[in-house]
């Protein structure tokens, strides 16, 4: 098969795989510190307010969705997190997440029948996922269910059959960070950017790049407090703002920049990311009553790639799986909160 630009290629058996992954995810969601947590990114390391301003020089063919309004500013809520399904010490290696929720966004939704009036952008501090497709993702977690030796067997399976993906996982788990405001983040999975329901547009990935370096920590982060990332974020924002450039990368080659394989890095030299917006996280006190209230509100929110306008619709197998998995996770969290 010769793939074409800006097209999806769903696996014929994908629906069953997604159904199985939903059940597996829900079954793994156990109470932690008094409540059912998210299926992934269970631990928040901070939740803050920001302003997402669209640049005035966005190219005409990129002016879709929220990017169609040059110079327009959206109020935003930004959740920083560790990607694990369990709450761990911040010194443990993990992918780090940034989830941006733009507020008061109007327009047709990616999921028909919803009216969320928000636009979410989810990203982590690595350009690829360690799994290519829903089938591989499910297989890994299915092996992990093996009593006593599941984790070891799953790693061995990756090493035997998907060594490149195992290497990605090791790179992610080897990252011990100092400050979540000093990281570059990538969407990893692709999205549509164009007219809804047409072929006029692009398959794209997003990246979020800090303008300035964040605060450095002395000593070894592994020896820091369990929640040192929250402490560092709080110290940083008490003194100065953090500014990120939000960029769009166009798919220019359907073979080397696939839509259906999220383990492949889209070469930023072959397709240079284009800045389309600026995220400014202003000076604020995350420990104030207002900051604490926002954190609690944030933990009850649903962040999902499918909280999106139709012009920013998630594409590719992993995103199609995430739609069902995130909805199931949200439903369990809503119905199973503990006292």
> What pLDDT score was predicted for residue 221?
61
Neighbour tally for 222: CB within 10 Å: 12
Burial class (CB in 10 A: 0-12, 13-18, 19+), 83: middle
> What pLDDT score was predicted for residue 144?
86
- 281-318 pLDDT, tens digit per residue, is 999 999 999 999 999 999 999 999 999 999 999 999 99
Sorted by where each begins, the domain ranges of the chain are 42-126+177-299, 131-174
pLDDT means per 10 residues, the chain with 339 residues, are: 93 93 90 89 97 97 97 98 94 95 96 91 97 93 87 90 92 90 97 95 98 58 83 96 98 98 98 98 98 96 96 98 93 60
> What pLDDT score was predicted for residue 115?
85
Is residue 187 within 8 Å of residue 195, measured between CB atoms? Answer: no
Candidates 297, 299, 302, 293; CA nearest to 322 is 302
CATH of domain 42-126+177-299: 2.40.180.10
> What pLDDT score was predicted for residue 117?
93
| Cα separation, 174 vs 82, whole angstroms | 13
Predicted TM-score (pTM) of this structure? 0.94
> What pLDDT score was predicted for residue 339?
31
> What pLDDT score was predicted for residue 88?
93
> What pLDDT score was predicted for residue 336?
40
> What pLDDT score was predicted for residue 291?
98
- Output the CA torsion 317→320→321→325 (10° steps): 160
Candidates 223, 245, 227; CA nearest to 235 is 227
Burial 249-269 (b: 16+ CB within 10 A, else e): bbbeebeebbbbbbbbebeee
Is residue 64 within 8 Å of residue 194, measured between CB atoms? Answer: yes
Measure Cα distances from 255 to 9, 182, 301 in Å: 13, 32, 37
- 108-154 pLDDT, tens digit per residue, is 999 988 888 999 999 999 999 999 999 999 999 889 888 889 889 98
Q: 210 forms bridges with which residues in the sheet?
A: 244
């Amino acid at each position: 098969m010769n793939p074409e630009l800006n097209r999806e290629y769903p696996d014929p058996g994908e629906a069953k795989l997604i159904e199985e992954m939903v059940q597996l995810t829900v079954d793994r969601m156990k109470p932690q510190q008094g409540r059912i947590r998210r299926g992934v990114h269970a631990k928040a390391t901070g939740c803050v307010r920001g302003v997402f301003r669209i640049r005035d020089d966005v190219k005409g063919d990129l002016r879709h969705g929220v990017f169609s309004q040059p110079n327009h500013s959206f109020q935003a809520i930004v959740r920083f997190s560790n990607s694990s399904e369990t709450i761990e010490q911040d010194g443990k290696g993990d992918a780090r997440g940034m989830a941006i929720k733009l507020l008061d966004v109007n327009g047709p939704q990616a999921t028909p029948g919803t009216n969320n009036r928000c636009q979410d952008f989810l990203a982590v501090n690595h350009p690829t996922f360690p799994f290519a497709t829903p089938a591989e993702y499910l297989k890994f977690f299915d092996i992990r269910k093996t009593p006593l030796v599941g984790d070891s067997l799953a790693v061995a399976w990756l090493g035997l059959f998907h060594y490149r993906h195992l290497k990605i996982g090791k790179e992610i788990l080897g990252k011990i960070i100092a400050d979540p405001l000093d990281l570059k983040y990538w969407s990893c999975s692709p999205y549509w950017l164009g007219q809804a329901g047409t072929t006029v547009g692009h398959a794209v990935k997003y990246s979020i790049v800090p303008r300035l370096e964040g605060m450095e920590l002395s000593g070894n982060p592994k020896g820091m407090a369990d929640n040192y990332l929250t402490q560092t974020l709080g110290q940083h924002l008490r003194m100065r703002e953090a500014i990120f450039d939000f960029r769009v990368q166009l798919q220019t080659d359907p073979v080397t920049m696939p839509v259906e394989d999220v383990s492949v890095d889209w070469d930023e030299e072959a397709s240079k990311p284009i800045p389309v917006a600026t995220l400014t996280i202003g000076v604020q006190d995350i420990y104030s009553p207002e900051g604490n209230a926002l954190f609690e509100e944030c933990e009850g929110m649903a962040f999902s790639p499918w909280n999106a306008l139709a012009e920013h619709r998630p594409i590719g197998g992993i995103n199609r799986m995430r739609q069902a998995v995130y909805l199931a996770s949200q439903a369990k969290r809503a119905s199973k909160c503990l006292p």
